[in-house]
Amino acid sequence: MSDVQTFRSEALKTLTDDIGVYALCDLDEVPIYVGQSVDGIRSRVRRHLTSARSDVIANRQVDVWEIAYVWAWPVKDVGEITALEAYLFNDFDNKVRLMNGKSMPVQAQQVYVPEKQVIQVIEEDERINRQDPALRLPRQIMQYNLLVDYILNVKDAEHLKRSLDAHFERLVRYHRIFL
């Protein structure tokens, strides 16, 4: 197991395995994906980060290389999850487009937001190194190309095109930083 994988595995042990909502955050601690888990947040996030049974990884919506932080909002009642996920999705997506692809309807009801747990899943030196525009821009170009290829050759779906649009926005931002 590599140093990055070992660090990530140890960090994930500290993540709650309660049910609830989580956000995968990039190297800048910006949410890129919001999800929910009714069988344990740690278990679900681990599947994302190892690409095991994770559609958003398999269909190229999220690049695991970019994930440096996980935020988690554990809840006690499964009935709270959908409204909390929709609230957090819309809050984050209004600031920077998420990779989720599918939009979530805004909830009319008041939503209780529990205390957030934050864990860093790559070492700080590695996170800083990956922020180098000479590494990040080519990686984003590759990820964008992989998603275009997936849409053209596997599945042409609106939610994937929405995710592609989010990748394009990131690509433009990284391009500007690179210049």
What is the predicted pLDDT for the residue at 138? Answer: 97
Domain 3-130 falls under CATH 3.40.50.1100: no
- State the pLDDT at residue 102: 81
Report residue 85 as tokens: 């996920």
Closest CA to 161 of 105, 92, 104, 99: 99
Give the CA angle between residues 13, 18, 23 to the nearest 5°: 75
The pLDDT value recorded for residue 128 is 98
d(CA 146, CA 151): 9
Cβ neighbours for 22, distance < 8 A, ≥ 6 positions apart: 34, 35, 36, 37, 41, 44, 45, 70, 71, 72, 73
Question: Tens of pLDDT along the chain (179 residues)?
Answer: 678 889 999 999 999 999 999 999 999 999 999 999 999 999 999 999 987 666 877 788 899 999 999 999 999 999 999 999 999 999 999 999 999 878 888 877 789 999 999 999 999 999 999 999 999 999 999 999 999 999 999 999 999 999 999 999 999 999 999 99
Q: Do the beta carbons of residue 37 and residue 75 sit within 8 Å?
A: no
Residue 107: per-residue pLDDT: 73
Domain map of the chain by residue range? 3-130
Q: What would you measure as the largest C-alpha separation in the chain, in angstroms?
A: 48
Asked if residue 129 lies in contact with residue 4, where contact means CB atoms within 8 angstroms, the answer is: no
pLDDT at 52: 62
* Predicted local distance difference test score (pLDDT) of residue 103: 82
| Paired sense of beta strands 69-74 and 20-25, if any | antiparallel
